[in-house]
Amino acid sequence: MMKITETSIPGLLVIEPRIYRDARGYFYESFNERLFREHGLIFGFVQDNESRSGRNVIRGLHYQLEPHAQTKLLRVIEGEIFDVVVDLRKDSPAFGTWSGIEISAENKLQVLVPKGCAHGFRVISEYATVFYKCDEFYHPGHERGLLYSDHALAIDWGIEPDKAVVSEKDKSAAPFSAAEFNFLYGKT
């Protein structure tokens, strides 16, 4: 059993798994293909990724162009993050908007990020380990980034800009007005 909550971005879902707790600890299924199919969530995940980052690190906003766009199923194994998704699908009712949610090892929430969206997160806890499944392999030639601090997007990362720890690559990503994307709503 899992609870699925839709967000303001079509296809961006928050998944709350059923957790079994007892004196030994806990158990839950983080992914069950049959349950996902029963909810119409059919993906052929082909790659798992994991990252560990310290407090105030911002990673993103990342995406891959078609024909190598990725659906991602993300969860936090250690710590807590503020997860952010930006809709880059032309004609989407949420095109150019962002959605954010706190997910943690404690709350066990998962986020399903649809193709055609840029994804990133900020680490809230001392450290955070993030694990995610992708339905397309990494293709460096199709990788793109969206500037996390773009004023046009006005993402509230919950941190003063001078305290954020960001890679040079992410600092030099394109603003929304100059970003390259080739996604069409309903076609990805």
Query: Domain segments of the chain: what residues?
Result: 43-184
Report the alpha-carbon distance of residue 45 to residue 71 in Å, rounded: 8
pTM: 0.94
- Is 178 buried (19+), middle (13-18) or exposed (0-12) by CB count in 10 A? exposed
Q: Which CATH superfamily is domain 43-184 in?
A: Jelly Rolls (2.60.120.10)
Res. 188 pLDDT band, cuts 50 70 90: low
Task: Answer whether 98's CB lies under 8 Å from 153's CB.
Answer: yes
DSSP secondary structure, 139-173, as one string: -GGGEEEB-TT-TTTT---SS-GGG-B--HHHHTS
pLDDT of residue 126: 98
| Three-class secondary structure of residue 37 per DSSP | helix
- DSSP secondary structure of 106-118: TT--EEEEPTTEE
Query: Considering only CA atoms, which of 171, 178, 166 is closest in space to residue 88?
Result: 178
pLDDT value at 39 more than 80: yes
Residues 6+ apart with CB under 8 A from 115: 66, 69, 70, 71, 183, 188
- Quick count: other Cβ atoms within 10 Å of Cβ 134? 19
Question: Active-site residues: which are they?
Answer: 62, 132
Q: Which of helix, strand or coil describes residue 11? A: coil
Q: Per-residue pLDDT averaged across 152-161, rounded?
A: 94
Please state, for a pLDDT cut of 70, what percent of the chain lies above it.
Answer: 99
Average pLDDT, the chain: 95
